[in-house]
Structure 1
Amino acid sequence: MEVDVTGTAPASARAGDAEDSGASPSGSAGPGASPSARTELPTSARPRIAETVVTGLAAPWGLDFLPDGDAVVTERDSRRVLRVSPEGEVTELGTVEEAEPQTEAGLLGVAVSPSFAEDRLVYLYVSTAEDNRVVRAELSGDRLGPTEEVLTGIPNGYVHDGGRLLFGPDGYLYVSTGEIGERERAQDRDDLGGKILRITPDGDPAPGNPFDSPVWSWGHRNVQGLAFDGEGRLWASEFGDSTWDELNLIEAGANYGWPEVEGRAEGTIDGGPSGDFVDPQAQWSTDEASPSGLAYADGHLYLAALRGERLWRVPVGPDGAGEPEAFLVGELGRMRTVAFAPDGRLWLTTSNRDGRGQPAEDDDRILVLRP
């Protein structure tokens, strides 16, 4: 099942943001679009803020959990790696000195090794002066050791750097990259930009990859959210340009169409067939989303929206995605990352101090939601 979602942007949304999706006709989804669901849910069924874990952060970007329930959090521009306890205690673990922040680039995603109890490794997505790269470092006590290169040579720029890291149920590391504003990279299968990559923990192409390279899927503009569902399927959230943002169900070797198509192909591309491209499972007008982080639990995906300033909840089943529902619209400002903690609660980070928001006095924040 595939759905369109339309609506009106909050007053604080700003057209033309580079990371955020480009300008679009507000409230218009184009031909054939269906309206958003407006049904009021019982209070018990609505995601709600349970508590604020920490305030005063500066553009937090990546978030993943240690086995003890503490979170590892990255700040994009400060280059700091933090440990945040559920009680709100913040410990600086170190600074990734090779990171070179600019506009959207800097210290981005983080993933804790699935074998952390044995290897103590934390993986990071870093924008350097030369490239975007995946590195890892050993966490000893409350200090992060020196970084070790895992995968280098991912194109970098001041926009569209991707940056999400996620270990899959197969034990391999999935890496989202962007096309850095150079559209042709997405359709070049030998280029690491505009792709989802799948690598071993040591940085080699994972066994079973479709092209004997790190590339798992291609034709992406800027993927910033990755999540596996209960059936082991990979989902990705992707920034559109001027019309559609996307939620995609990822298949090995599949081409998701950018820049030949944005959103659904609707049968033809420049008069020719579009059968080579995989359509999104859901799409949003670009002033409703600018989707970044993605998380899954109990039959639903949760998607954090930057420009859209809302949390989307999307039911997923054997036939694909159902009708999305929006929550917390305009209440927290820009939302960057969502992740489920070991205790089952949903952590959410704001991104109002990233240069495009309107920060409140206590921004940026990490909040806990009861989904």
Structure 2
Amino acid sequence: MDYAREPETMQSRLLDTTLASVGCTSSEDKERVLIAYEGEWRNLLAKLRSDLKLRHAQDDASYDQKHRRMVMMHNSSIVGEKIVKAARSYVKEKLTEAVREATSQMPPEVLEDEMLLYELLERNEEVNLWTKARRHTEGPWQFILIPSSLPNAFVSEILPHRIFITTSLFETFIESQDELALVLGHEVSHLILGHHSARNSLETSMRTLEILMLSLDPTDGLLSLAFMGGLVSLRSAIGALHSRDHERSADELGIRLTAMACYDTRAASHVFYKMHMHNVESGRDVGLGGLFDSHPPSEERYLALIKESDEENPTKYEESSCANLKKIFFDALKKGDDGRS
């Protein structure tokens, strides 16, 4: 099939694969997937509320289940929209800084040649990073709630401008919009920082090295068999090391986006403590950080985020986004006190 000619078919198949990765495979489960669009999710919720009123009169059990999912969708949409807005603002600022820094080191004759200037900026590593990040964040987003027993939230480069959230994430860990904001901020940060591309590039490089060593083996495979186990272990260890570094940097940017979106970062950090306790109780987190662990110990991440919240919190952004939000709230209160709608 020519996917270039049938992009909708390709998107549908990629979506099915993504849903299957979190255990959403049956047609019944897929029918319960909710999708809200940035800037339009209120229309979806209004329709859901209308449908729920009808169902409430018919089936209380069905109403309760659908009402819970509607609340999850509402929180996913409102928090996701704010995190995306903060991400766009952050990326725009970083791209501006990168261009300013790059051009400050160029001679006047380059600055006067628009074609040459553009070419050199494209080659600049920092400018290239933030240009890609802007491409990843600009455009309308979707917030997708998936019925699943696996607690998870994630973004994907192959299905851009989408935040996927499972119902089990809410049921297991999320108790407030602050906590949800940090989780979504963390996931969007992976996209901004290019971690998905970096992981794929590392995996490709390591596998290419393995193939090269196999092709150079003069013993017709005997030496390769001896080393293959070690190479696989080495690839896993290096991959895990990079993954842990990526998780830490996504935590750092994620809590900043949470603060920029005007959420309580200290309260938000407690979601990682709950994850830590969940892992301890299930025997998956002993706090040592093994060589092949793809994530740092969740208790370490929680303590680091609590410390970071002293610096990254809504107070830091009172002169920008949070100040505007406060003004809207206070203006609304004043109107209410005056008896006007």
The TM tier, using the shorter chain, reads under 0.3
Task: Report the TM-score, using the length of structure 2 for normalisation.
Answer: 0.28
Higher strand share: 1
- Relative contact order, CA 8 A, sep 6+: which one is greater? 1
Larger C-alpha radius of gyration, 1 or 2? Answer: 2
